[in-house]
């Protein structure tokens, strides 16, 4: 059984360091004894030292974003080297909420290049805002992959994780829930694109996660029926009981 990858995206939460410590401690407790799951917590930038403060090796630390520049006069930006020196191992790039703010595939590509240079694992988010009946969304995802992974070598793909994020299925957008069959279709399509870009071995080795709204009630379906290599969890990663349930389900599937 290959290890499942569970990534907690805290977004702009919680509102205090004290609350962040409580949530992180509960995540550490929930992750104890789970042999088939790797857990990554991605808190807001001010909380990146939380892992060092709590001294755990069971949970990896991730970031929600990174600058497309290596250094310089870029107020408010955080470079890949700063993340690396802060013991961050993973970084989410191209999240739909960043794209809504104007982040293009070209910018995402630059961020990926910076992250790879700093030896960070990249969680590349791709996904359509509308699931049309003519399959145009597949072309949209194909374009995202081609443009975001431009100049990324086959060797570097060992450090790339793909998170399929159907924007229409995210709860904060008020959309309907996705079903495992819809993820299966896109997972197979993503691997086909990666196979064409690199080769079948690379495509098979690349983890593909489900990144829509996911909870204890549906995570099993995306893992078993959908074939997901793990999940990118938003709101429910901040609710200790729900996130613990997600971790334990992932550990057994």
Which of the four pLDDT bands, split at 50, 70 and 90, describes residue 173?
low
Does the pTM of the predicted model rise above 0.85? yes
What is d(CA 170, CA 19) in angstroms, rounded to the nearest whole number?
24
pLDDT in tens, 184-198: 999 999 999 999 999
Q: What is the mean pLDDT of the chain?
A: 94
What is d(CA 25, CA 195) in angstroms, rounded to the nearest whole number?
40
Which of the four pLDDT bands, split at 50, 70 and 90, describes residue 63?
very high
User: What percent of the chain lies above the pLDDT cut of 70?
Assistant: 97
Q: What is the mean pLDDT of residues 209-215?
A: 93
Predicted local distance difference test score (pLDDT) of residue 174: 61
Contact 93, 131 (CB under 8 A): no
What is d(CA 125, CA 208) in angstroms, rounded to the nearest whole number?
10
Q: What residue numbers bound the domain in which 190 lies? A: 4-252
If you ran DSSP here, which 8-state letter would residue 172 be given? G
Catalytically active residues, by annotation: 95, 165
What is d(CA 130, CA 143) in angstroms, rounded to the nearest whole number?
15
Q: What is the mean pLDDT of residues 220-243?
A: 97
Predicted local distance difference test score (pLDDT) of residue 132: 86
Among candidate residues 144, 126, 143, 97, the one with its CA nearest the CA of residue 187: 126
Predicted local distance difference test score (pLDDT) of residue 168: 87
What is d(CA 85, CA 79) in angstroms, rounded to the nearest whole number?
10
CATH of the domain at 135: 3.20.20.70
What is d(CA 200, CA 202) in angstroms, rounded to the nearest whole number?
5
Domain count for the chain, please give it: 1
Q: What is the mean pLDDT of residues 66-94?
A: 97
- What stretch of H or E contains 186? helix 180-197
Predicted local distance difference test score (pLDDT) of residue 240: 97
Q: HEC profile for 196-220?
A: HHCCHHHHHHCCEEECCCCCCCCHH
pLDDT in tens, 17-61: 999 999 999 999 999 999 999 999 999 999 998 877 777 778 999
What is d(CA 149, CA 161) in angstroms, rounded to the nearest whole number?
11
21 or 2, greater pLDDT: 21
DSSP 156-185: GGGGEEEEE--GGG-GGGT-PPP-HHHHHH
pLDDT in tens, 113-164: 999 999 999 999 999 998 888 889 999 999 999 999 999 999 999 999 999 9
Q: Is a pLDDT exceeding 90 seen at residue 1?
A: no
Contact 54, 27 (CB under 8 A): no
Predicted local distance difference test score (pLDDT) of residue 2: 84
Predicted local distance difference test score (pLDDT) of residue 171: 66
Whose tokens are 């992959």? That residue is 145
């Amino acid at each position: 059984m290959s290890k499942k990858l569970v990534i907690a995206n805290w977004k702009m939460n919680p509102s205090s360091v004290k609350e962040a410590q409580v949530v992180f401690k509960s995540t550490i407790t929930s992750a104890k004894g789970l042999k088939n799951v790797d857990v990554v917590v991605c808190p807001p930038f001010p909380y990146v030292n939380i892992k060092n403060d709590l001294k755990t090796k069971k949970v990896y630390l991730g970031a929600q974003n990174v600058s497309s520049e290596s250094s310089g006069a870029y107020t408010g930006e955080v470079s890949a080297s700063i993340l690396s020196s802060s013991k961050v191992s993973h970084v989410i790039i191209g999240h739909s909420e960043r794209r809504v703010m104007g982040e293009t595939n070209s910018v995402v590509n630059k961020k990926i290049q910076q992250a790879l240079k700093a030896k960070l694992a990249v969680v590349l988010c791709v996904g359509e805002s509308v699931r049309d009946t003519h399959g145009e969304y597949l072309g949209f995802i194909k374009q995202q992959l081609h443009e975001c992974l431009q100049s990324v070598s086959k060797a570097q793909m060992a450090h790339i994780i793909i998170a399929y994020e159907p924007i229409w299925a995210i709860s904060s957008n008020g959309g309907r829930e996705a079903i495992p069959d819809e993820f299966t279709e896109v997972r197979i399509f993503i691997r086909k694109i990666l196979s064409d870009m690199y080769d079948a071995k690379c495509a098979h080795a690349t983890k593909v996660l489900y990144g829509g709204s996911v909870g204890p009630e549906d995570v099993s379906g995306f893992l078993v029926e959908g074939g997901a290599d793990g999940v990118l969890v938003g709101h429910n990663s901040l609710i200790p009981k729900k996130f613990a349930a997600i971790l334990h389900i992932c550990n057994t599937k």
